[in-house]
Amino acid sequence: MVATVVRLRLRILGHILRRERWRLVVLVAGVVWVVAMLPSILGAQVWLSQQSVDVAGDVLVIAGSLLVTGWAVVPMLLPTLDDSLEPARFATFAVPVRRLTPALLVAAMVGVPTAFTALLVTSPALGWAAHGPAPALVALAAAPVALVTCLLAARLSTGLFGLLLAAPRAREIGAALVLVGLALGVPTVRAISGLGLEGVLETVPTVARVLGWTPLGLVWAAPAAMADGDALGALGRLVAGSGAALLGLVAWTALLKRSLVRPAPRGGRERRRADVMLPGPARPGRAPDRTAVVTRAVARRAWRYWTADPRYQSAMLAAVLAPVVMVLLVATVVHAPAAVALSMGPFMAATIGWGRHNDVAMDGSAFWMHVGAAVP
């Protein structure tokens, strides 16, 4: 089953790259970027090898935690970036969940982001080699666990986000979460900016110590424990990190089973609307304007996609929130000039909003359906 799903993913990716040239350009650019990052990654590991065990451990724990967090957050902001192997698509094939789960997990490893992440989680072994062979071996043992944790974080976040968007009161719940996030995020950013660079650096050991006992940083803290001579602590962190990944796999299996049995509706909640495909009663002596009726029908159907499809809603929410968050970070943390901070808003909005052209580019959308049907 694993080989079948991996071949299916490779074939789908091949068809997509042949049909959509811009994806091929993005793929090539991603590969070039990964190759260009190799000297920076090696340089970072050389720098870490020259630091003390405490400094190297704190830096790697925080960096690893940010990496796992990024894998959990980015797929929610870009839900339609790659849904070729969406679990709901397998609902009609009656494939047992115990066979489909490892197949989808292995197939998710096919891609440039996963390859780059594999490079990142393996590179700390070079830095820890300066502190002895034992920490380097622990870092190598922690690498596959860290990679699987990143993949499961992405799958769990998108699965839970899909359940949230498919809820009967998804809009109300989403609005409440956004308000809570802003209420907590803005004061936090202002507090961090008030500490200054020295104050932030003073809190790094405490933050790293806390993250080192969470699923985000357990395996990243194991090599530092081994370098300090705490072999039992290193082994315990590896076992705990593997257990956390196993629990994540169990949770994702439950979400996968639910999506196969009860796939989330792509059209959102069911609503009754007036039929705009057929013209209403015309005035006496006046023929109905067929062009206006067809135009209104196409616009109404496209509007239904944006207001009812969870994928469209999440992408629209990301296009609005990402520029706001970027402006707040640049203005409060980096202390950039006001002109620079304000220019980030239009830049991010244009970058993210470019993805909205998929409404007229991807097949299956309301616009494409009417173009394909040659509606005048």
Question: What is the model's pLDDT at position 276?
Answer: 44
224 and 339 in a single domain? The answer is: no
**Residue 162: inside a domain, yes or no?**
yes
Encode the chain (376 residues) as per-residue pLDDT tens digits: 778 877 877 787 777 777 777 777 878 888 888 888 888 888 888 888 888 888 888 889 988 998 998 888 888 776 555 556 676 677 667 777 777 787 888 887 888 888 889 999 999 998 888 888 898 999 999 999 999 999 999 888 888 877 776 666 666 666 666 666 666 666 666 666 666 666 666 777 888 888 888 888 889 999 988 988 888 988 999 999 999 999 999 988 888 887 776 665 554 444 444 444 444 444 555 555 666 777 777 777 777 777 776 667 766 776 677 667 776 666 665 566 767 667 766 776 676 666 666 565 555 555 666 666 666 5
Supply the pLDDT for residue 173: 64
Dihedral pair phi/psi, residue 289, rounded to 5°: -80, 100
**Shared domain check, 328 and 252:** no
Residue ending a domain, among 206, 230, 264, is 264
Residue 17 neighbours by CB under 8 Å, 6+ apart = 23, 24, 27
Yes or no: say if 173 and 166 are a contact pair by the CB < 8 Å rule. Answer: no
237 and 303 both lie in a single domain = no
Please say whether the beta carbons of 82 and 355 come within 8 A. Answer: no
Task: Tell me how many domains the chain contains.
Answer: 2
Pair 33, 78 in one domain? yes
**Shared domain check, 306 and 162:** no
| 125 and 162 fall within a common domain | yes
What is the Cα–Cα distance from 309 to 317, expressed in whole angstroms?
Answer: 12
Let me know: does 222 contact 145? Beta carbons within 8 Å: no
- Is the residue at 326 inside a domain? yes
Asked whether 71 and 158 are in contact (CB, 8 A), the reply is: no
Same domain, 203 and 95: yes
Determine the pLDDT at residue 279.
47
Residue at which a domain ends, from 231, 264, 297: 264
Task: Mark whether 155 and 50 lie in a shared domain.
Answer: yes
Alpha carbon of 325 to those of 65, 112, 174, 180, 276: distances in Å?
20, 26, 17, 14, 39
The answer to whether residue 165 sits within a structural domain is yes
Q: Are residues 258 and 294 in the same domain?
A: no
**End-to-end C-alpha distance for the chain, whole angstroms:** 46
Contact 98/256 with Cβ under 8 angstroms?
Answer: no
Residue 328 lies in a domain: yes
Query: What is the per-residue pLDDT for 191?
Result: 64
Q: Is residue 102 part of a domain?
A: yes
CB 82 within 8 A of CB 111: yes
Q: CA separation (Å) from 356 to 317, 320, 350, 353?
A: 12, 12, 10, 5
Residue 334, amino acid? V
User: Are 165 and 308 in the same domain?
Assistant: no
Q: Is residue 275 part of a domain?
A: no
Q: Clarify whether residues 76 and 139 are in a common domain.
A: yes
Q: DSSP assignment, residue 89? A: G
270 falls within a domain: no
- Greatest CA span in the chain, whole angstroms? 94
What's the pTM?
A: 0.65
Instruction: Give a yes or no: residue 180 inside a domain.
Output: no
138 and 220 part of one domain: yes
Residue 327: give the domain boundaries.
289-376
Domain boundary among 216, 247, 264: 264
